Copies of this chain bind each other. A is one copy, B any other.
Amino acid sequence: MPIIHVYGWKGLSDEAKRKIIAGITKVFTDMGIPKEAVEVIIHEIPKESWGVGGELASEKLRDFRPP
């Protein structure tokens, strides 16, 4: 407790994952939660499986690259 599921686009570097996990964990430790209690799961979703405004993100947001 807490458990955090992050859904973003496929292609995150390990460095980006490290920042996401460390950053989100710190939000909770700053509130007094022990860091061992925080679990963060990153789900990388292919852009062709993500719809925004009724269209595939792979077609609508062709040029966006995950960090």
Contacts and interface: CB of A to CB of B under 8 A. Distances in A.
A39 B21 contact: no
A39 B39 CA distance: 10
Interface string A36-67: 10111111110011111111110000000001
Contacts of A50: 1, 39-42
Contact of A67 (B4, B24, B33): B33
A9 B56 CA distance: 18
Given A1-B9, A23-B23, A39-B39, 10 more contacts: A2-B7, A2-B8, A14-B48, A16-B31, A17-B56, A20-B27, A22-B51, A33-B67, A35-B54, A39-B50
